[in-house]
A = this chain, B = another copy of it.
Amino acid sequence: MDKKKGSLLSFRPDIKIVDATIRDGGLVNDFRFSEEFIKDLYEANQRAGVDYMEFGYKASKDIFKEEEFGPWKFCDEDALQKVIGDKNTDMKICVMADVGRCDYRKDIIPRADSVIDLYRIATYINTIPAAIHMVEHCKNLGYEATINIMAVSNAKEAEIDEALELIGNSPVDGIYLVDSYGSLYMEQIEALADKYLAMAEKYDKFVGIHAHNNQQLAFANTIAALTRGVSYLDATASGMGRGAGNCSTEQLLGFLKNPKYDIIPILKFLEKHIEPLKKTGIDWGYNIPYLLTGQMNRHPRSAIAATKDGRKDYLNFFLELNDKD
């Protein structure tokens, strides 16, 4: 059964690029970006044809202290408006809200009073009902909404099926396939994409992909998913994101054939902001500890710690990972 969607020379108008640099990249530097970085990225994304730009999290100020993070941990409306102004653009704005870490009833205001278009609700598979509650809240306020099921590589088939059915019956617009640990191979991504897409088709939703680069498969897995019909593609400038990072915007822009996409503004942004940021010691991207947690389908936290400590004793690290079983 050949279910390939699209070809290498044509383009699919349903494809959307979602820039998640501030949100996933913010996990690397506690959301402390300069104002110029944010403004230039906002400008570059528009010029590059990016469809959605994610600014960060809508995190609870009861749980997280404001002084410990930059503003994009909370995405207050006035911080957003300072960058976006009158919002004279086709590019949509999104923000992530984690189940259990967001005072959504208080902090998410009606869309008419906000510059935000889409809320992405991040959940583990065991908190889907809470995620659906949040989606209902957001939809009632006029927003688009997605559910992003994290760490799906650790979920059982039957759980995924049940979760998808629950989500299908919710008012959500889209559902995200998330490879949190960067552990999945293309064959697994394709099988999961087919499963998500079957639900999506039945209930008239779309499917997105958020890949991590632990095994240097983030771009490959994104291509694999879109080839099956997944249409919302997460990417970040230079792959900036937690641990091994993400599929990079510049990789994706070189692959997609929609003439509205343009790599040049992103190359300029990399020159001006990413290279200097890396020089300050902010660090992400593929290395051996990330490869090993990816291969073993583990949370990257031990690899993040090993990277921070500059550990190069790969064998010990590998043995420690094995010991944790």
Q: Of B8, B187, B216, which contacts A185 at CB under 8 A?
A: B8
Q: How far is the CA of A131 from the CA of B318 in the complex (A)?
A: 43
Stretch at the interface among A27-35, A60-68, A260-268: A260-268
- Are B275 and A312 interface neighbours, CB within 8 A? yes
Interface of chain A, main secondary structure: helix
Instruction: Scan residues 213-259 of chain A and give those whose CB is less than 8 A from a CB of chain B.
Output: 213, 215-220, 223-224, 227, 250-251, 254-255
Interface centre among A263, A288, A313 (most CB of B within 10 A): A288
Closest to A275 in B: B312
With A185-B8, A263-B318 as known contacts, state yes or no: A254 contacts B291, CB within 8 Å.
Answer: yes
Q: Which residues of B contact A112 (CB under 8 A)?
A: none
With A2-B1, A251-B216, A251-B291 as known contacts, state yes or no: A187 contacts B267, CB within 8 Å.
Answer: no
Q: How far is the CB of A144 from chain B (nearest CB, A)?
A: 30
A314 at interface, CB cutoff 8 A: yes
- Are A215 and B251 interface neighbours, CB within 8 A? yes
Q: Chain A interface residue count: which class?
A: 35 or more
Q: Of B216, B223, B288, which contacts A270 at CB under 8 A?
A: B288
With A219-B215, A219-B217 as known contacts, state yes or no: A315 contacts B264, CB within 8 Å.
Answer: yes
Q: How far is the CB of A186 from chain B (nearest CB, A)?
A: 6
Q: Of B186, B213, B292, which contacts A223 at CB under 8 A?
A: B186
A295 at interface, CB cutoff 8 A: yes
Nearest first, the 9 closest Cβ-Cβ pairs linking A and B are A220-B220, A254-B295, A267-B314, A267-B315, A275-B312, A216-B216, A268-B315, A271-B314, A216-B219
